[in-house]
Amino acid sequence: MQLASYRSPKTVVRQSRIVGRGLFATEPIVRDEIVCVKGGHLLDKTSLERLKAVVNDADMQIADDLFLAPTTAEEFESVMMFLNHSCEPNVGVQGQIAFVAMRDVAAGEELTLDYATIDHDAEPMPCRCGASTCRRLVTGRDWQLPALQRKYEGYFAWHLQRRMRIGQ
């Protein structure tokens, strides 16, 4: 059995106007419907750093020092979810690894995620989403912004929700 992330049969991976490839709805997806579930090996931060050349951007933080990621180049493609970042996303996190539609999504729409809802350990990256509310730069600290905490309430990864509750 091959290690893989789950992507809904209502989706397809194709070229994105944002960057590289993205995940697109092939038929309507209703609010709170699961669109993908992240797969991968559990790695601590030290192991992740050693595998950075293999992992590239296929890792996802699920706890303060735990990540899901491929460990070989052969696993990279199957572990990718192809959710590009957007400052006006239509997908959010439920729990640690499930990604759901935050609103009804029409066939043909790209499924996007605000990376602020999953990462607190990410390197800054320029944003290419093109939304009118674009932050221009996405950082590992964006989850701390009160406006984003209100906007995505209920759609943050559990480890970030815990940090919000204890005020980190």
50-65 per-position pLDDT tens digit: 998 878 878 898 988 8
Sheet containing 66-69: which strands, arranged edge to edge?
41-43, 66-69, 60-63
What is the 3-state secondary structure of 48-69?
HHHCHHHHCCCCEEEECCEEEE
Binned at pLDDT 50, 70 and 90, residue 1 comes out as low
Binned at pLDDT 50, 70 and 90, residue 168 comes out as low
110 φ/ψ angles, rounded to the nearest 5 degrees: -75, 135
pTM for this entry? 0.92
Q: What is the pLDDT of residues 64-113, one digit of tens each?
A: 889 999 999 899 889 999 999 999 999 999 999 999 999 999 999 999 99
| pLDDT, average across residues 22-26 | 98
| pLDDT, average across residues 145-152 | 95
Question: Above 80 in pLDDT, residue 136?
Answer: yes
> Can you list the domains of the chain with their CATH numbers?
6-166 (2.170.270.10)
Q: d(Cα 24, Cα 156) in Å, to the nearest integer?
A: 21
CB 43 within 8 A of CB 34: no
